[in-house]
Structures are given as structure tokens and as C-alpha cells.
Chains A and B, each alone.
Chain A
Amino acid sequence: MIKHVHWIALLPLIASVVILLGSRDNTEKSRLPLLGVAVMGWCLLHSLLILAGVLSGRAEVPFYRTLPWFEFGGFEMTLGVLIDGTAAFMLVVVTLVSFLVQVYSLGYMHADPRFKRYFAYLSFFSASMLGLVISSNLMALFACWELVGVSSYLLIGFWFEGDAPAYAGKKAFITTKLGDLGFFVGLLLLFAYAQTFDLKMLPLHFQMGPGHMPAWVPTAVGVLLLCGAAGKSAQVPLFVWLPDAMEGPTPVSALIHAATMVAAGVYLVARTYFIYQAAPMALEAVAWVGLITAALAATMAVAAYDIKRVLAFSTVSQLGFMMLGLGVGGYTSGLFHLTTHGCFKALLFLCAGSVIHAVHTNDMRQMGGLSKKMPETFITMLIGAFAIAGFPFLSGWFSKEAILHDVYRFSPAMWCAALATAALTAFYMFRLVFLTFLGISRDHPRWEHAGESPPVMTVPLWILAALSIFAGLALEHNGIFAGAVCFGPAAAAEGAEAVAHAPNWLAWGAVGAFALGLAAAWRLYGTGDLSLASSLKRSLAGVFDILEDRYGFDRFFLALVRASDSLAAALYWFDSNIIDAIFVDGWALATRALAEVQRFFDDFFVDGAVDGVGALTRDGGLGLSRLMAGKVQEYLLFVALAVSLFATFIMTR
């Protein structure tokens, strides 16, 4: 099974090309999208079998296989697969969410005039994402990383007739690309010292200890790779693109901007964890970036009214948690959260999509009371909210608990901040659910019109809901996840020991945070009486302004864009008015003027006096001036002159 793992990335790629070019009919009538769904179903099955093989020990991991790609100088670049426990889990997360989202999209996108192309893009995304997961070397990973960015660009801007999606797609691409510059330089630095990108060879270079490479190199590489990860995984300060990315179709938000692509940054840090192990400072930077992101994003989620933007901020915040987990040394807990988050965040987005599909707005102020109209969506979304908020024994509880344990071990102060963020998570999630589904409808025509979505959309919801409930328990049971996903045996033992040593009351902290967040949300939004919420908002207007302004990060980047535009304009002015006009044209004009002066001198002073010399000077002057006037024939004369000079020189020697 695992021998054919490369097909998991290749088949969706082929499918996307076939779907894109296979038929002229772009609408729902085209049957080609079903090919994409079928291929993804196969990929899911294959991934599950691989995971089963890895868990049962039948498949030997890490599975590593490469083939030569190209050679340059004495180096060889390879393409290949490297499957370990982490990659096996990641494959399942990606294929599972991809498959469910594709099925759901059959319903969600049914009336779209570019229905077929949408599925081509989705398959292309899955192919690049799966390629990223299995790649055995960092250059191929980077290549897939960029392709994932392109599919995100195409899908955010899928409804490109609107200005907002077009702008959002560009913003996402450029912002992540800014982070990728760091990634790119990191790769260059890595190669300069290790001479390879191979993920199997690289760890050896970092485990050789001091003396093999300068001590600053691992730290620098770690921080540079973190730049790339921060862009893709929407960490501070590069998170600004993700809220805007919600302009894309909602299933896309669920797949790319919640469950899979945005987790790629976390995956990158995990995949290159050996570098961070050699660079504690870089690892601590990961932790701090994660914590700050988690906290800031959670506060911003509180102030948002767009249902998808609340979820987007929530995603940013949860990605921060994952980074935090990895950063404090919790390799397993960070990735555990990545896995469970994939399930419940996809669920939440698809539920939000179901709501948007019914009421045709993203604004929660125009919703309310929808639980009666769409009970299935309501219940599944409630499950998702409980899972992400950390209700005991649901999947999010296990993974968040694990992270909090690791954080406490690292620094109790950071643990406090993380706990407060967990409370905020519960608060904004239930605020969302209550505002949407409970109370009275605040826009009656929309409420009247709303109805439950078709089974093709609700069945994926139930599947994801089931996973949101049970995935944590199933994977925690007997330490299945920790057994398969760990960074070397030493780290696993250390982790188990530390959990055992953590105080017992620690678990109550998370439950308390959950209860606090839920109670506050209920008091403010759950009862149908929003007067307290609005008076609170009025009295804290200053705070809300800052939150709605996203702490000014957007304005900062806009100013950066304007500054570079001004710089570009200034340089172009310099290019055309200084370099070109003065140095080039000015020089030409000066030459021409000189020729004129010479002619003048000729005519008035020399003329007739020294015939031979005068004639020569005049011809020279005229020749130059004619040349400047554009007589190409003169040029041939010039070459002839040069050659004859040359010939004279030869013969006189």
C-alpha cells in the first residue's frame, strides 16, 4: 500500500488537468467533477490503509523512496516520498477533509456557471497539498508550498467578477509570499552549509553537534523557516490575509483556510523539527509567535460580526495554539491539535456555509433563530463549538489539554495566557452559535426564506461531527497518536514523563476556562436579549475600535504597499529623467553639439587656412553629427574605416 503513496498526490493532479481541459461545458451538467470526487475518495481510502499499516506496524516507517529529478554541478535534486507517522496522519486529515468538501461542494456550488473549473482547482489544490505532505526534500516541499499558494489564490478569487475576492486573492498571495522570502533565504542558507535538501539526510547535519556548522546557522535557518510558516499559517504579523480570504466560496474556506493549507506552516515546523532542536532560541520564537497569535486573534474574533470572519480569526488563534505547542517542545500535542482541529474547524466552516447558503448573508446581525429552520446544521455546529471550546472528552479537549500541559511545563506564565485564550475561544464560539441560531430572527424575510440544506451537504456535516466527538478519544486511547507521532523515542519518553508529573488540578483549569467562556456568552447572547451586549460594546467602544481595526496590522501593511509604490514611482522617474534623459540622451546631444561647434570652428577659423587638416576635421565633425541624426549608412562607413585602419596597422608593422 505504502509503496504507491505517490499516487495520492499524482492522481488528483491528473484529475485536475482532465477536469480543466476535458470538456467545454463548464456548468453543473458536466460530469467531470465526479471524477475529482472519485479520485479523492480513492485517495482517502488509500491514506486510511496507509495509516492503518503505520499504526499496526505492518508498514515500516519512515518509508523513504526517491528518484533523481535533475542534476546541477555535482549535486542531484531528487523527487521522493518520506512517510512517517506525522505524514500518515496528515495524509488522512487532508484527504478526508478534501473528500468531504468536494462532496459538499456538489451541492453548494450547483448553480455556479464555472462549476467544472471549481472542481479542477479543488483537485489541483489537493494534489499540491498532498505533495507537500509526502515530499522527501525541502525544495520539492517548497515547490508544492508555492503551488498550494496558487490554488489558494485561484480559489479565493474564484468569484473574480467582484472586486473584493479579486483583491483578497492577491493579498493572500503577496502576504504569504512575503513570508516565503524568509523561507527561500532559509533554504539557501541551509544548502550552503548542508549541501542537501533531503529530509532524511538533513537531520544528520544538525545532530553532528557544534563545529560542523557555525552555531548561528541553525537558529537563523529556524527563524527564516518560521517566517514562511508564519505566512502560510497566518501567524502574527502576517495573518492579515486570512480574514480577507473568506471572500472565497465557503467550502474552500473550510478546506484550505481552516483545515489543511493553513496547517502547512505548522507541518513545516514539525517536518524540520530537527533544526529547531538544534536551535532552542528559534524554537522559543515559535512558541512566542504562537502564543501572541493565539491571544490576539481570539480577541479579534470577539469583535467580528461576519460569521466566516469569526471562524477565520478562530482558525488563526488555533493555529497559534499549534505553534505554541510545537514551540514549547510539545511536538506530539501540537500535531494532535492540528489533527483534531482539521475535523472540527472544517465542520464549523461547512456549517457556516450551510447557513450562508440558506440566508445569503455572512452578517450575524441579520441572522438569529435559525435553529428551528435548520436543525441539522444547528446541532452539528453546536457539536463543533463544543469540540473547539474544549468540552471534556470531545476531540478538542484532548488536544488542547495536551498543549496546555506542555506549556505549563515550559512556563506557567505562558500557561496563564494560553488559558485565558482558551476561555475566549469558548466565548466567541458560543457567541457565534447563539447569535446565529438562538433568539429571535433579526431579518425576517431572510429567516422566512431559509431552509435546511440538501443531504449532499448535511451528510458531510454529520460525518465531521462524529469525528469531532470521537476522534480525540479514539486517538488518545492507549496513546495511539502519541505512539505514531513523536519526535524520536527520547522525546516521547520525556513527554510521557512530564505529563505524569504535571499537577492534577491542571486539567480543571481548561474545564474552568470552557465554563467561564460559555457562561459569559450565554449571559450576553444566549437569552435573546442583546441589550447587555450592546451596552457593554458602547462602554468599551475604544477597545472595540482597536479590535475591529485588527490592531492596525492591516494599516501597517497597506502603508508598506504604498511606500513601495512610491519608491517604485520615484525610481522610475529617476530612470527616465536622470539616467535616460541626462546621461544617455544628454550625452548624445552633447556629442552632437560638439560636432556642431567643431563645424562652426571649421567654417569660420580654419576654413581655407589649412586645407588638408580642415577638411579632415570637418568630415569628422559632419560624420559624427550625421551619425547622431540617424544615418545608418554612415555606420557601415565607420566599420569600413575601422577595418581599413586595422589593415593599415597590420601592413606597416
Chain B
Amino acid sequence: MPILSLTTFLPLLGGILILFIPKERKDAIRWVGVGSTVAAFLASVYALTLFDPGLASPAPLTLQMVEKLSWIPSFGIHYFMGVDGLSLPIVLLTTLLSMAAAIYSMNIEERVKEYYFWFLLLEVGMTGVFCALDMFLFYVFWEITLVPMYFLIGIWGGPKKEYAAIKFFLFTLFGSVFMLLGMLALYFASNPHTFDMVELARSHAVFGREFQIIVFLAFYLGFAVKVPAFPFHTWLPLAHVEAPTGVSVLLAGVLLKMGVYGLLRVCYVILPAGFEWFLPFLVIIAFINIVYGALCAMAQTDMKKMVAYSSINHMGYALLGMAAISPTGFNGAAMQMITHGLITGALFILVGVIYDRAHTRDISAFGGLGAKVPVYAGIMSLTCFASLGLPGLAGFVSEFLCFLGAFPAWKLYTALSVSGILITAAFFLRMLQKVFMGPLNEKWAGLGDMNARELVSVLPLTVLTIFLGLWPRLILDIMNPTLTAMTKLFPSLFQSVR
């Protein structure tokens, strides 16, 4: 059974089905939409049961559940799907977050049919990116995410939605144009010409150092915009603030991971010399992301913008772990992608919950809600603590591994980056204090606690956040063999950072 294709395209099936439902039947559309995300999630869980983590080897890529069909033979383009310990967890994250966001989005009333159609198409693109192993296919999926996202922000977004949507679109397009150039360069430099990532990884030795550096930079532009790495991050706070809740969840939870994933999957494996050349810059960018992102978050009064800037900070940890080129750091970076997806996804849902009721996200507009909405306060506090890296919750392990891995290679920058932890704690606690503590702001005396739809969408994320914090091997056992094998690909690179 082509399980990866099934995971990827089940939402498309749902999307097509939705096209045949009259637009007045909103509930039917919603349930078909949610049902397709559930089906995709179940398919990905089935893929997990088929996966054997131990199969990883130091060969460039050891892939499982491979599907390879000739697609455009004249250019050697294949429909080539497969997963390893790096991509499978992100596929699961994608389907899980899509499900949570689809459930949360059931409160959308405006143009429901189009919403769910674009939403499901977006899921197809996101899942595909992490499964695709042919550069061309990768690019197609990559670009598929762009158009639905443009419409989802531009139609269902906030007051400045058009500006936010076009900015997101152009920014990403700017990046992917360079990525396209990089792809073409790789294609023509390889002999025989190929888009096959595995083949390209095998033949990286024939690429000269200068060539690798230039092509690396082209890819880096594409990926850095997504991560987002300083200074290509300014689309993110805007897009997050304007996007509807469900879309913010996917934007932060999954789309940012496309950048980090791309750096590991494409840049590191295919262009090691370029990667090595860039490392000193990467670690500085990671440091800026961590400290600058955290400080910018501290300056926010809008909860959603604060969480958005905190994503820049958290992705900085992943970049730092990546810059370590050690099994510890790679594990940290890969796990950080998952934990950030879970935690920040939940945070965006929770910010949405209060915005739906109060129609404001201004931190100082509230006060004393703790006694009024205890369930919400409890889940929100827990998620904030997870985001600030409290031990026992998922974020701690991944951040700790990023730091632990990076420290031997980059002592100064890692030690300085640790201050990001303090700043993160400061702004999250300040928010908790202003929103939940102090005397009750009488304006919100009628505020209701979380309803079933909201709880169903957020609780899986909360439970996983706790579970991964207590038992990180649940995910590390899947990732560790692949990532350890990856660091063994280039022993010289591993040595050079020390």
C-alpha cells in the first residue's frame, strides 16, 4: 500500500469531495474537512507502525516506505516519496496539527466551503514536502503550500489581511525563486542530470567547493525565509497576527519546519562544503534569532504577536542545534521542530480561544481571569511553561539538547544564547500575570470557559507535550539513529567545528 501517498493525498480527496457539497450545507463541509484530516492522521500513524528506526545507516539517506515512479522521463523527474527518522515525525506533526486546526476551525462561518478546500490543499502541500525525495516534486509541493496560504490569510484574516497575505506570498516567492535556481544548478551540475535527492547526495563529491557555496546560498535564501532566520523574518509576526487561528497553527507549527527541514535534508546532505562554509554565520544567526526574537517578543502587547516573535526565538534554538553538527545537536534541532510545533500550535489555539470571546488580544486588557476561567488558565499556563522550557514538558528536552550539542563547538555563542531562556520566561510570566492574576477586570465577568470544540482541538497537543517531556524517547528513538547516521556522513565536517 502506498502509505505515504495515501497520507499526502487523502486530504485532497476530501477537498474534491467538498467541492461537490452545496455551500449551504456548512456542517457537512466541516465534517468532511475534519474527517479527511483525521483520515490522513490515521494513515500517518499507520506509517509510523510500519517504520523501523533501526534501519538507518551512514549511507546518505536510508529511506523507508519508498514509492518511486517515473513522472517526466525526459528530464529524469520521478514521483519519489519516502521517509526516514528525520521526516516521519514531522509528517506526523503535520497531520496532527492539521487535525487540531481543522477541528478548531469549525467555528468559521464565512465561506466555509472555500476555507476547507484551501485548508486541505494546504495539508497536501505540507505533507508532500516532507515526503518528497525528488527535488522537482519537493519544489511542486513547496509551492502548493503557498497559494492556499495566500487565500487563507487574505480572505479569512484580520484587518490588514491583504497586506499580510501579499507580504507572506512575495517574501516566500522571493526565497523560492532562488531555491529554484539552486535546484536547476544542481540538476545541470550532476552527471547524469537528476533531481533525485538520494543521487544528488551521493554525488556531492563532484560539486566543487565554490559551486557548493553559491548553490547553498541560493537554497539558504529559500529556507531562511521559512525558518524564519534573521533578517528574513519580518513577514512572520504580521502573517501570524492577521491569519485566522487555525491557519496560524499550521503556519507556526508546520510551515516554519519546512525551512529547518530543508536545511538538514538538502543543504547539509547535498552541499556539505557550502554548509561548512556557512556555519560561523549560521551560529551568529541562531544567536540573533534567539536573543533578538525573545527581546522583540518581550516588547509586544498583542498576545499573538508575542507568540509569533517567540517562534523566531524557538527556531533559533533549532538553528543552534543544527550548527553543532553533532548527534546531540541534530537530535535537539529535529526534536525542537516537533516540540515547537506542538507547543506553539497549542499557544495559537489558546490565543484564538480568548480572542473569539473578547475580540482583543491586548495583554493589558484583561486581568484576574484565573478564577473566572480556571480550565483555560490551567492549560494556558501549562503551555506557556512548556514554551519557556520547563523540565517535565517537551520543550525542555529539545532545547537542552540543542544547547548541549552546540556548546562544545560554539562555547561563547551558546553561553550567550542561554540568556534567551530568561527573556522567554520573563515575557510569558508577565503575560500570565497580566491576564490571569490580579483583581478581576469586571469587563470580563461574563467570560465563559473553554468549550468542547476548543478542548478537543488543544488537548491532544497538551497531552503530547507532557508525555514527550516525561518520556522523550518516544520520539528520540525514532529520530536518533537517522540523525546520528547523518552526522557520520561527513566526519571532516564534524571535526572542523571543534
Interface residues of B, count at CB 8 A: 74
* Given A71-B476, A630-B162: A161 in contact with B299 (beta carbons within 8 A): no
A192 x B407 contact (CB < 8 A): yes
Q: Which of A178-186, A379-387, A391-399, A520-528 contacts the other chain?
A: A178-186
Interface residues on A, range: 35 or more
A-B contact pairs, 17 of them (CB 8 A): A71-B477, A71-B480, A146-B390, A147-B390, A166-B433, A170-B429, A174-B422, A188-B407, A188-B418, A565-B298, A630-B169, A632-B147, A632-B169, A635-B147, A635-B169, A642-B180, A646-B184
Determine the chain B residues whose CB is within 8 A of the CB of A162 once the complex forms.
438-439
Q: Least Cβ distance of A643 to chain B in Å?
A: 9
A437–B300 Cα gap in the complex (Å)?
50
B114 at the interface (CB under 8 A from A): no
Chain B residues numbered 67-92 whose CB sits less than 8 Å from any CB in chain A: 74-75
Report which of B173, B414, B421, B473 forms a contact with A635, defined as CB distance below 8 A.
Answer: B173
B298 x A178 contact (CB < 8 A): no
A150–B385 Cα gap in the complex (Å)?
9
A184 x B421 contact (CB < 8 A): yes
A-contact bits for B165-202, CB 8 A (1 contact / 0 none) = 11101110100000010001000000000000000000
B376 at the interface (CB under 8 A from A): no
Determine the chain A residues whose CB is within 8 A of the CB of B419 once the complex forms.
181
- 3 closest Cβ pairs, A-B complex: A73-B327, A143-B391, A166-B437
Q: Least Cβ distance of B168 to chain A in Å?
A: 11
B484 x A579 contact (CB < 8 A): no
B421 x A564 contact (CB < 8 A): no
B331 x A177 contact (CB < 8 A): no
Determine the chain B residues whose CB is within 8 A of the CB of A569 once the complex forms.
299
B106 at the interface (CB under 8 A from A): no
Q: Which of B122-130, B338-346, B394-402 contacts the other chain?
A: B394-402
Q: Which of A327-335, A421-429, A463-471, A580-588 contacts the other chain?
A: A580-588
A594–B90 Cα gap in the complex (Å)?
41
Q: Least Cβ distance of A575 to chain B in Å?
A: 5
B421 x A181 contact (CB < 8 A): yes
Q: Least Cβ distance of B452 to chain A in Å?
A: 17
A139 at the interface (CB under 8 A from B): yes
B440 at the interface (CB under 8 A from A): yes
A64 at the interface (CB under 8 A from B): no
Kindly name the residue among A75, A181, A188, A588 whose own CB sees the greatest number of chain B CB atoms within 10 A: A188
* Given A177-B425, A571-B296, A632-B169: A150 in contact with B234 (beta carbons within 8 A): no
A178–B426 Cα gap in the complex (Å)?
10
> From A144, which residue of chain B is reached at the shortest CB distance?
B391
A639–B295 Cα gap in the complex (Å)?
38
Chain A residues numbered 613-653 whose CB sits less than 8 Å from any CB in chain B: 627-628, 630, 632, 635, 639, 642, 646, 650
A342–B298 Cα gap in the complex (Å)?
39
Kindly name the residue among A72, A189, A632 whose own CB sees the greatest number of chain B CB atoms within 10 A: A72
A567 at the interface (CB under 8 A from B): yes
Determine the chain B residues whose CB is within 8 A of the CB of A588 once the complex forms.
170
Q: Least Cβ distance of B41 to chain A in Å?
A: 25
A184–B424 Cα gap in the complex (Å)?
15
Determine the chain B residues whose CB is within 8 A of the CB of A646 once the complex forms.
184
Kindly name the residue among A73, A588, A630 whose own CB sees the greatest number of chain B CB atoms within 10 A: A73
B150 at the interface (CB under 8 A from A): yes
A-contact bits for B187-225, CB 8 A (1 contact / 0 none) = 000000000000000000000000000000000000000
Determine the chain A residues whose CB is within 8 A of the CB of B146 once the complex forms.
635
A583–B298 Cα gap in the complex (Å)?
23
A639 x B296 contact (CB < 8 A): no
A519–B487 Cα gap in the complex (Å)?
71
Q: Least Cβ distance of A570 to chain B in Å?
A: 8
A74 at the interface (CB under 8 A from B): yes
Determine the chain B residues whose CB is within 8 A of the CB of A557 once the complex forms.
none
Determine the chain B residues whose CB is within 8 A of the CB of A305 once the complex forms.
none
Q: Least Cβ distance of A43 to chain B in Å?
A: 20
Report which of B147, B166, B234, B401 forms a contact with A579, defined as CB distance below 8 A.
Answer: B234
> From A73, which residue of chain B is reached at the shortest CB distance?
B327
A74–B480 Cα gap in the complex (Å)?
9
Determine the chain A residues whose CB is within 8 A of the CB of B385 once the complex forms.
150
A69 at the interface (CB under 8 A from B): yes
A63 at the interface (CB under 8 A from B): no
A-contact bits for B342-378, CB 8 A (1 contact / 0 none) = 0000000000000000000000000010110000000
Determine the chain A residues whose CB is within 8 A of the CB of B400 once the complex forms.
139
Kindly name the residue among B298, B300, B332 whose own CB sees the greatest number of chain A CB atoms within 10 A: B298
